[in-house]
Structure 1
């Protein structure tokens, strides 16, 4: 009897370690690519505008893959799709280092975005199923691993640049490491998804709950996109920080977002999902309000730290709730919520630019603060 009790616990822990490793691989691959964008830009002799146009191929591939990803995970299971995407994703990364023409990069980035999203849906479906087995919140910690991998990938990229290694060599090292981890840990992933009922609809209008979850994700991802693309500009133009401190706002945001994800599961268990989402939106709005009202280095940094804390648990919670849908399978539900969420991630940064052009960057962030607080409002009107 004692052995039969211990064995499932050991298996769950092994599965958690394996799924965490797959989240790490995803973050490592993406950060590795991002760290060498300037080198690729220089090799292809792209202007800033040309690079922006080329980079758009990645989110286009991501968006186009969303309905297919949900169907594939539903049809063949998250385990199969995770192995497929986790192998192909780093392989595509290595081919980025070989591109010699602009159109080559466009094609490869489209595939990188397409396969990256299939990877995202599959690994989050695995995480949702494992969370059901644990019977408590563990999703935020997986997303924390992804954030940690982002820091690791950026650090390795800096090292590779200082060692004067070509992007292809760098990417091959990352690919080899990823494939080794996959070969060692894949056997411990979950074989069966929760709610994997083949009779559930594949293509249907999201129900009210999924729609609201998608809107919460969209509001949060607009805030994330704003921090990714505009925090440095805000510190440069509004805060007027010294050159060496311009990245401080982005670093503060990323640090607290990653840290918040590792603490998020404990807070969810203590506060509950509804209260956590409500507080998250409030913290986002307060953080941006501080940065807008007091645009000095210390206060703006503090404000961006609060924004990082606020956004840290929202997307993991939304994914966890979507995966428990009683109407759709986890893969389809996650794809539906991701589609709405990523619309905000893509539309947010240019929208900020338009508002900044018409008024000012501070007004842009004020608009983002309102969207952050909208997370609280929508959560308050949703039954979980």
Structure 2
């Protein structure tokens, strides 16, 4: 097997482990909320620890990748990410949970930047768009994490035990993958900082990714709560909406590159934003079991293509090296992913969870409008 093929498989597996860790956390949010007796507003406030940790990690991640290379940062961050997941499960009060989520956000964004830098190198070697397929592995892991979480809930297994099992399972996968990572990052330039603000065209795509990932992040953290509080399903079914969302998102990401080749980047992004808004409105105005599942499925299709396409464009930037452009746009989009859930919690606390989902629908429509006006 060619070395670059081994690298592609290894990085795909790391994307899977990354997504599995995050999905495992998200799948047990309703359980953690119940155990700590948190209201929607309190949960939303606590969730802000994630984006704060991510924000703090930005200069640190940039320094570490520039100093040691993305390979070493991926190895350290991937292993530590699993340990921070266990810390979340062991948090028995609000203070410990906030601290654990801060660390989870800090290490998660470090892993996000470094593993995407590795993916840019593999895509450059293949000389064709494959970024969406890497992100498809992340989404596929989200589906697996949601299913595992639903099983753990059904078996009444506490989050701490659940997270220890997940962390232990991925260690072997990571140890296998690490040996095949790229040793050198592509197009590095020692005369420029690793992370900088994107140019105007990349900024537009970054803002689109920011809004789309706000919706995506809210689906991860609030879909279970929505089915529990609004749809009023039995405990064993609270993860069904999240599962439908992950199935459609993962499946669509594996064909996103083909869709762009046939229909163009602009059209795909406009349709993506429109589907996101439509799916959320279905969930809000038809709050019933089947219609809500369909709505979450449509939202998954809507948000699926945006981020991989933005990252692929960043990797081909003519004004910045691929690593620099990717890191800056990735940071902007991922911050939207992390800040969306706490905003939804605050809106729900001040009004109603359905109102907060209407807000998300507006955000989805904004993606379509920005894509129609700002993307060539």
Contact in 1 for aligned 2:27/2:239 (Cα 8 Å): no
Contact in 2 for aligned 1:74/1:332 (Cα 8 Å): no
Q: How big is each residue's C-alpha offset from its partner over 1:312-358, in whole Å with a ceiling of 9 and x where there is no partner?
A: 11111112222333344444433422443344335545555676788
Structure 1, unmatched stretches of 5+, are 1-6
Give, in angstroms, the shift of residue 53 of structure 1.
4.3
Distance 1:174 1:360, change over 3 A: closer
Give, in angstroms, the shift of residue 262 of structure 1.
2.1
Q: Does 1:119 align with 2:119?
A: no
Distance 1:269 1:360, change over 3 A: same
Give, in angstroms, the shift of residue 80 of structure 1.
1.7
Match for residue 83 of structure 1? 75
The separation in 2 between residues aligned to 1:112 and 1:352, in whole angstroms, is 20
Q: Does 1:322 align with 2:314?
A: yes
The separation in 2 between residues aligned to 1:355 and 1:99, in whole angstroms, is 25
Q: Which of the two has higher C-alpha Rg?
A: 1
Bigger Cα displacement from structure 2, 244-253 vs 318-327: 244-253
Contact in 2 for aligned 1:66/1:338 (Cα 8 Å): no
Match for residue 211 of structure 2? 219
Give, in angstroms, the shift of residue 218 of structure 1.
1.5
TM-score when normalising by structure 2: 0.82
Aligned residues, how many? 374
- Secondary structure at 1:193 match in 2: coil
The separation in 1 between residues aligned to 2:17 and 2:65, in whole angstroms, is 19
Bigger Cα displacement from structure 2, 142-151 vs 291-300: 291-300
Match for residue 308 of structure 1? 300
The separation in 2 between residues aligned to 1:159 and 1:105, in whole angstroms, is 23
Bigger Cα displacement from structure 2, 183-192 vs 16-25: 183-192
Match for residue 150 of structure 1? 142
Determine which of 202, 217, 220 is the counterpart of 1:210. 202
Match for residue 334 of structure 1? 326
Contact in 1 for aligned 2:143/2:243 (Cα 8 Å): no
Determine which of 6, 21, 24 is the counterpart of 1:14. 6
Contact in 2 for aligned 1:93/1:112 (Cα 8 Å): yes
Contact in 2 for aligned 1:70/1:333 (Cα 8 Å): no
List aligned pairs for 1:27-46, cutoff 5 A. 27-36=19-28, 45=36
Match for residue 276 of structure 1? 268
Q: Does 1:375 align with 2:367?
A: yes
List aligned pairs for 1:56-67, cutoff 5 A. 56-67=48-59
Q: How big is each residue's C-alpha offset from its partner over 1:16-41, in whole Å with a ceiling of 9 and x where there is no partner?
A: 11011101111222233344556666
Q: How big is each residue's C-alpha offset from its partner over 1:257-293, in whole Å with a ceiling of 9 and x where there is no partner?
A: 1221122233233333333223212322343455556
Q: Does 1:189 align with 2:181?
A: yes
Tell me the C-alpha RMSD between the 2 structures: 3.5
Bigger Cα displacement from structure 2, 168-177 vs 74-83: 168-177
- Secondary structure at 1:188 match in 2: coil
The separation in 1 between residues aligned to 2:74 and 2:54, in whole angstroms, is 16
Contact in 1 for aligned 2:10/2:178 (Cα 8 Å): yes
Match for residue 110 of structure 1? 102
Distance 1:208 1:112, change over 3 A: same
Contact in 1 for aligned 2:279/2:296 (Cα 8 Å): yes
The separation in 1 between residues aligned to 2:96 and 2:207, in whole angstroms, is 35
Contact in 2 for aligned 1:69/1:335 (Cα 8 Å): no
The separation in 1 between residues aligned to 2:160 and 2:354, in whole angstroms, is 40
